[in-house]
Structures are given as C-alpha cells and as structure tokens.
Amino acid sequence: MLLKSQEHLSVLKVIIITALLIIFTSSLSVSTDVDDSLAYIWPLPAQFSSGNDTLSVDPALCLSVSGKGSGLKIVEEAFERYKAIIFEHEVEGVNSHSVFNNFRKRRSRGFDIGTLKIVVHSDNEELQLGVDESYTLLVAKNEGLSIIGEATIEANTVYGALRGLETFSQLCSFDYDTKSVLVYKAPWYIQDKPRFAFRGLLIDTSRHYLPVDVIEQIIESMSYAKLNVLHWHIIDEQSFPLEVPTYPNLWKGAYSKWERYTVEDAHEIVSPKGINVMAEVDVPGHAESWEETFNSFASNLNPRTVVHNWLGGGVCPKAVAKGFRCIYSNQGFWYLDHLDVPWDEVYTAEPLEGISDPSNQELVLGGEVCMWGETADTSDIQQTIWPRAAAAAERLWSRREAISTGNITLTALPRLHYFRCLLNRRGVQAAPVLNKLVQVYGSEAAFCMPTREEYVCSQQPGAVL
Amino acid sequence: MLLKSQEHLSVLKVIIITALLIIFTSSLSVSTDVDDSLAYIWPLPAQFSSGNDTLSVDPALCLSVSGKGSGLKIVEEAFERYKAIIFEHEVEGVNSHSVFNNFRKRRSRGFDIGTLKIVVHSDNEELQLGVDESYTLLVAKNEGLSIIGEATIEANTVYGALRGLETFSQLCSFDYDTKSVLVYKAPWYIQDKPRFAFRGLLIDTSRHYLPVDVIEQIIESMSYAKLNVLHWHIIDEQSFPLEVPTYPNLWKGAYSKWERYTVEDAHEIVSPKGINVMAEVDVPGHAESWEETFNSFASNLNPRTVVHNWLGGGVCPKAVAKGFRCIYSNQGFWYLDHLDVPWDEVYTAEPLEGISDPSNQELVLGGEVCMWGETADTSDIQQTIWPRAAAAAERLWSRREAISTGNITLTALPRLHYFRCLLNRRGVQAAPVLNKLVQVYGSEAAFCMPTREEYVCSQQPGAVL
C-alpha cells in the first residue's frame, strides 16, 4: 500500500479567499538547472550552429509561404497549431487589459521576428516511405537594411516544412521576466534531415480499444518527436473493432458495440496530418504462437518483402545480407510495454548493429517502438509511450556519430528531461524519465526536470530512482 | 517486474498493406452488456421519467436560446463544445463522399430532433456559492401538429443550462447500425438540481507543477461529472509557482523558471467555464505539522468561518452543532492520492453522516475530493482523479435516498463503468473502475466496460481484480 506520510499533508483547511502574503523568499530561489552548452532540441538536428543573440518573437507572428507548394493547406494549418503552442502564455485581449499592462514590460521597440517565411519547393504532398523530410531553418537578426530579423524555413516538401516548424517551436522559449517569447543563442542555422526514412510507433487496438480522440492525441504527440509512421495494429485474436463494409459481420467481434471504428472513424484517423498511418489487418489472424517470420520462412519470401524484426538482435543483419529490407523493433529494448527497460537502453539500441557493409546498411529502413496493448489502455498509454519513444525517435532521426559518443548522461539525458517537460506543457502525459517502472506511482514532490546534480546522481549504480 | 507473457505477443511482422480478410465471425460476437433497466446518466438526476421511443438527432443540430439570459455567450460556447462531443463520429464533408454514402443508411425521412431550445430566465451570470443550477430537460416526439420532435432545456441561470447540456449529451448515443445519434427510451422528462451547492475537486500545484493546459483539461473533465468548484491549492512549502506582481520575488520559490504561473495564466485558469476556480494561497504557509484547525481552535473562529473537514469522520457534526458551515473531505475516503481506496468506499462516504437535525444538515455546504500532489504529476493525475472523483460527484449531486439504498454493485457500478468509458471517449484518461490500486499497471486485454458477469464476480470476496 502506498500512502503519503501524514506529516506532509496540507492541513490548513479554513478556506482563504483573500490572503495575506508573507514574504519568505529568502529560503527559496529558482534553480538554474540547464546546461547552456547543450542545444535543447529533440531530436538533435543533423547540423546546426548557434550564436549569442537573443531575439524576441511577435505574438502576432505572420506566415509567408512561397514556392510551388505554397498553395497546400497543410502548412498553414500546422502554422496555426504551432502558433498556439509557441504563444501558450498569450491571453486573448490582454493588451487592452490594464491590470496586466501594469506588469508587462513589453519592449517598446517592437519585436525582432515578425514573420516566419516558409519556402516549399514541391507541390507534391504524397506521403510515401522515403519522402523528403529535409529542411533548412535560419533564425537570425536581419543584417541587411531592414531592422527586422528573419526566420525562414526552406524545404523540398511540405513534410520537411512540418519538421522545420517543430524545430522552430522548440527554439522559442517563453521568458517570464519580459513576458515574451524569445529565441536564445541566435543566429541559428540548422540543416536537418532524418537518418532513417521509417520512424514508427505501433499501437494495438485489439487488446484494449482506444477511442478516436485518444489516437489523434497520440498522432499529434508523435509529430513533436518527429516520428513519422503510426503502425495501427487494428485487430488481433482478442477483438475485431473495425467496420469492413463488404463483410458486415466482422466487427461483431468487437469487445462491445461502443468499442468499434466506423469506416468514417478510420478515414479520420488516416487523414493527412504529416504522419503516415499504416493500418494493419492481420492475415490470417493469429495462431497461438507465432516465431520470427524471417527465421522460419526466409527462403519463401518475395524479395520485395520488408522484414520487421521483432525478436532479439541479429535478425536485421541476416535479412539485409540476403537482400531484404528491414525494420528494427528489437523487443528487448523497443517494446514499450516492457516497463522495466530504462530510457538509456532504449536510446542506445542501434538499428545498424552488426551491419557494417554500407550497401546492406541502406536496406535498414528504420525502426519502430511498439506499444502493445495487453496491459495499457486509454488511462495510461501516453505515459507508457512517452518519454521512452522519444529516446528511440532521436536514435532514428539524428546522426549516429552525434548521439553515440560521449557520456549520454551528460549529453542526452538533460535534453530528454527538457523534452519530457515540453511534452507535459503541451498537454501530453509523459512520465518522468527516471521512473524505475515507467507507469508506476509518481515520484515524490519534484521538479519536472530534475536538477543536474539529481540526474547525475541517479545514474550511479545502486541509486534509488 | 511485470511482463506480458510472450505467447500472447503479436508476432506477424511482415508488413501488410492490403489484406485478405478471413471471415472468422462465427466465434465472435458483440456482447450485450448493458442493463437496460438503468438510466445511464451520471450523476443520477433528482427526478426523471423515460419511455420507449427512439429518436434521431440531426448532426446539423441548431441552437435556439430564449429568455433574459439569451444574450450570454457562455451557453452558445458550451453548445458548440457539446455538439463536437455528441457528433464525434461525424466526418466533415462526409455526405458528399461516395465511398461512405454507399454504406450509410441515413433515414430518408429526416431527423426527429433538429433544434435544441434553451430557455435561460436570468441574465445574471455571477458564479457564486449556491448559484441556481437547477434545470428541466425534455426530449420527446412532438405530439402537436408539427412532425418535428423537441428537445428543451429550461433553467433559471446559465449554470443550470450548462448542467442540462451535459445531461442532454449523455442521453445521446451513437448507433453503429444506422450511423446516427439516437436518444433511446424517450420521452425523457428530467427535473434536476444538485443536493449540495459545493462539489469540489482539489488540485495541488506546489508538490508537482501542473501546466496550464493540464489544469484546463481537468476543468473540462469536471463539468462532465457536474462538479462545480476547482480548489486550486497553488502553493505550499515545496514551491511557490505563482506570480504576485506586488511581491515579485515570491515566485522565485518555484521549482524552475518554467514551472510558474504568470498572472495572465492564473487569469486564464479562473476565467468563466461554468466551474468556480477557488485559488488558495496558504497563510502563513505550512509549519511542519499540521492538526484539524477546528479541533484546536473552534472557540476562536469567526462564526462565518467555513470549516473544511479533512481529518476522519465526526468533525462536520461537531462544527455544524456549533453553528459553523462545513465542507466534507474525510481523508479516509476522499483523498484521491490514497490509491488503495476502492470506488465503493468513495461512493458511500456520506457528508451528512452523524448529522440528523435538518437545520444542522443545511450547514453542510457539500464536499470536496482532494488530489494532493505529492505523488501525482501531469503523467498520472487524470487517471488518479477519475473515475473515483465521479463516485463522489454522484454522492454530492444526487438525492441521498436514490443512491443509498439497494445493492450498489447492481445500481451504481454498471453506470460508473459506463461513465468511465464516456470519459475515455472524450479523451480523459480515466482508470478502470475496479483496478486494485488505481494507478498501477493496466489490466489484461479487456472491455472498457466489463460484462455484467465480470463486475458482479469481481465484487466477490477473494476475487482477483
């Protein structure tokens, strides 16, 4: 039984409507718990440089889209979503509210960044495996004649533009002193592209049904970590929740009449949001124990088959050696329902392990973290997915050299703590990074992001997390 | 360590894009797990009657507001929110989409309910303790000359109208066969009002900071259970996250510079949403231990004091006997961070226990469930609050006689299961009702709402939940 200690309970129970404030600041102070030498962007961009300027961003930030893809609605919609995220502290009509203006120290000279320019070169918005997701992002003081600074995203496709928007949103921080959104360490010059084309998350709606709203929350949260494939494992032996109009009896295999997806629901789920939703219907349905398909049937597989490696290591190396393409999901590290796997084991699992030949390496399309549904439902799925799925996301996006050297407790962990807090601020129920079992009972009263000392200590052998 | 058994894993890992569907419906069928004699409305209305008609509701449902309060924006905004909830399966532009129309068996004769009429008698929208939250809701076939049916909410205040809208939304069910929203068991005639004026939930942002978005999600979810007071315990000895402009050093006591609330944030949180947000700043801050104030200082209290009973039973009876008003939060049952308290102990805890004199009973304003923050944060707060807060919400709203007699395993539990699934569908991470420890590791693959047999069995002594 887990009970908090009674001594720590708040017991002042006479209701106080107006309160006398007692000044007791002497013993309290905001901790400075960020290592400024790190770039707090998750996943880490392929190439970037930063400087020492601080730029302010106008809450009335404008969008200016150009290029052949400028007519595509998806960029404009994403810009509006990100604007709401970036200016979360902005209150509508606040400028005309005298109470607030008294305490608002808005810069009189205006803002450094008033427009975000997005250039999209292609008008093709087909979202296929291998779609170009590269982008260039520049955030700098304008050095020309204009006094206005500049923020520009340039991309070949709308999907590159979406990834750039996410990065831009992560550069924007709310500053509590000036009450404005600032970009620190400008000028930023970022050239970015993913290491792998396939960066997936599996959800399983057969073992526990997930409502459409919840699936859409998950899709939204995936875009924050630049994952790009939702592998929707719709059915399995436990239930068949999907409507198949030509076989109207199939979804009678749902758990209940409410735990079903209409074709309209499915259409809504797979509709364009910058994430490829791969809907999977098992054929012929599961038998009781199913082996790694490749291990048993390699000689019968069509050479165009993509082998999804779910068992331990060693399968992808064998598959690519035979010329098959491969997706990595080593269950020892990337099955998110294995609650005892800590973030660093997820982070260091390497899809190319054991594959040294460059042409074989190219056959590894990427990887997928798997949120199997036997023991997670609506109430705890997000905290089981995050933040560990983000650890895999960086492995799949960022350059291998950049994230595989040095002490990850110092280079990756503080950034992952920060990203977890970012997810929380965006309303995503990501669990603390260092929970011993990811889902179980929260830690004691604490910082969202532990102080540097705390997370370094907690990595020592034998430490209680 | 909790690991699922490997035999149950999905291992078919060759990616299937187009799938041959094998018909295996013979062994599967949707269970009929609802006891039709119950009214699936939570909390149970004060008075209601139902019939045997089934009425369809137009997805283009119109709002028609009249009465002195018709100009108040809050009703219109709430109507739009509820419309999105009621018609969650409606896909924009779906009518013009031939793929869907082929399978859509829309009634050719139109819909029974095309307009929701709301009458609000008062234009006073002040949200004070004791505000009139009563409403009358009628959903019936129109028996007059018109062939159109009728749905009407009549209320003295906008807050009564909001409670009526929630009830109306709970009467509306999506029917998967006709793909339309239906009201079963019409005509419904409901006359409703709360038993207690104060129906609170406490959150604690000192032990763990909660982002503004998360607090707003909590406020939204409270309205589904007709709770009406968010007691925001902002500060405590662990941290001081709130900006106080006249004492600008105070919020330096926050955990970190991001874990703070600006006055604008606070303004956003307390802005009108039909829930009274009671912001509390402890004075003079906590000493190390702290007793039930009333027990120690009763003789010194101003007679207008409201005593908030947090310790065990027996305090409210003593307080009201001395003429004080009282709010009930018996920690044995209504502290939500006590994870081992099952739903039925929350449900049967009675604010009027030990108070028989009717004039003393009137001094009990209501009660409050407390989500103390020592061990819950953004990642698990919603699953810790729900569904047990709903059990208290019915205790505080519904008539004592109606919910205190009979076998609650048969009369309340199925409805609470249903309400938990409703919360899930609305994107709220409510935990399963019968979890042994509410937050811990989900149950095995399962129905959202267990079958009748399952929940009856699981109440037997010794059953494994």
Return the higher-pLDDT residue of A70 and B9.
A70
Q: Residue B206: pLDDT above 50?
A: yes
**Stretch among A36-40, A205-209, B343-347 having the lowest mean pLDDT:** A36-40
CB contact under 8 A, B15 and A443: no
- The pLDDT > 90 percentage for chain A reads 65
Q: How confident is the model at residue B457 (pLDDT cuts 50, 70, 90)?
A: very low
Name the A residues in 187-216 with CB < 8 Å from any B CB.
Answer: 204, 206-209, 211-214
A96 in contact with B at a CB cutoff of 8 Å?
A: no
Are the Cβ atoms of B448 and A13 closer than 8 angstroms? no
Q: In whole angstroms, what is the distance from residue A327 CA to residue A368 CA?
A: 7
Contact B417, B1 (CB under 8 A): no
Cβ <8 Å between A7 and B288: yes
Residues 6+ apart with CB under 8 A from A296: none
How far is B376 from B354, CA to CA, in rounded Å?
33
Handedness of CA B259, B265, B270, B274 (dihedral sign): negative
Instruction: Band the pLDDT of A101: cuts 50, 70, 90.
Output: very low
B62 at A interface, C-beta within 8 A: no
**Residue A458 confidence class, pLDDT cut points 50, 70, 90:** very low
**A223 by DSSP, 3-state: which?**
helix
- pLDDT averaged over every residue in chain B: 84
Of B16, B308, B376, the CB nearest to A281: B16
What per-residue string of b and e applies to B28-38 under the rule 16 or more CB within 10 Å gives b?
A: bebbebbeeee
pLDDT in tens, A109-160: 589 999 999 999 999 999 999 999 999 999 998 766 555 568 999 999 999 9
Burial of A80 (0-12, 13-18, 19+ CB in 10 A): exposed
**pLDDT for res A438:** 54
Q: What is the pLDDT of residues A286-305, one digit of tens each?
A: 555 575 677 777 778 888 88
The pTM of the full predicted model, rounded to 2 decimals, is 0.89
pLDDT (average), residues B15-26: 34
Is residue A77 within 8 angstroms of chain B, CB to CB?
Answer: no
For the segment B33-56, the average pLDDT, to the nearest whole number, is 90
Are the beta carbons of A21 and B89 separated by less than 8 Å?
no
pLDDT digits (tens, 9 = 90+) for A216-240: 999 999 999 999 999 999 999 889 9
CB contact under 8 A, A259 and B447: yes
How far is Cα of residue A131 from the mean position of the Cα atoms in its chain?
A: 19
Confidence label for B403 from pLDDT (cuts 50, 70 and 90): very high
Minimum-distance CB partner of B33 among A250, A256, A432: A256
Q: Is A214 exposed, middle or buried (0-12, 13-18, 19+ CB in 10 A)?
A: buried
Provide the pLDDT for residue B453: 59
Which of A1, A6, A15, A216 is the best substitution to test chain B (most B C-beta atoms within 10 A)? A15
Q: What angle do CA B90, B45, B367 make, to 5 degrees?
A: 110
Residue in chain B nearest A444 by alpha carbon: B375
Within an 8 Å CB–CB cutoff, is residue A345 touching chain B?
no
Q: How far is B339 from chain A (nearest CA, A)?
A: 7
Q: Please give the pLDDT value at position B14.
A: 31
- For the segment B192-214, the average pLDDT, to the nearest whole number, is 96
Query: Please, how many CA atoms are within 13 Å of residue B397, restricted to the half-sphere of its CB?
Result: 30
Residue A437 confidence (pLDDT): 63
Q: Which among B212, B252, B340 has the least Cβ separation from residue A88?
A: B212
pLDDT over 80 (residue A283): no
Q: Is A446 on the interface with B (CB under 8 A)?
A: yes
- Place B427 in a pLDDT band, splitting at 50, 70 and 90: very high
CB-nearest partner of A103 from B207, B211, B245: B245
Q: How far apart are alpha carbons B416 and B43 in whole angstroms?
A: 9
Residue B102 has pLDDT above 70, yes or no: no
Q: Which residue has the tokens 């607090």?
A: B215
Residue A425 to residue A201: CA distance in whole angstroms: 22
Asked whether the predicted pLDDT for residue B3 surpasses 70, the reply is: no
Higher-scoring residue by pLDDT: B72, B462: B72
Inform me whether the C-beta atom of residue A328 falls under 8 Å from chain B C-beta atoms. Answer: no
Chain B 112-171, CB below 8 Å of chain A: which residues?
none
Among chain B residues, the shortest Cα distance to A262 is held by B176
B84 touches chain A (CB under 8 A): no
**CB of A304 less than 8 A from some CB of B:** no
CA A199 – CA B179 distance, rounded (Å):
35
Average pLDDT, chain A: 84
Per residue in A27-82, pLDDT (tens digit) is 444 444 567 788 999 999 999 999 999 999 999 999 999 999 999 999 999 999 99
Write out pLDDT tens, residues B141-187: 876 655 556 899 999 999 999 999 999 999 999 999 899 999 999 99
What chain A residue is nearest to B247 in terms of C-alpha separation? A23
Q: Which residues in chain A are closer than 8 Å to B430, comparing Cβ atoms?
A: 378-379
Domains of chain A: 47-95+104-192 (3.30.379.10), 198-457 (3.20.20.80)
Interface contact A76, partner B, CB < 8 A: no
At B98 the pLDDT is 45
Of B8, B265, B331, the CB nearest to A374: B8
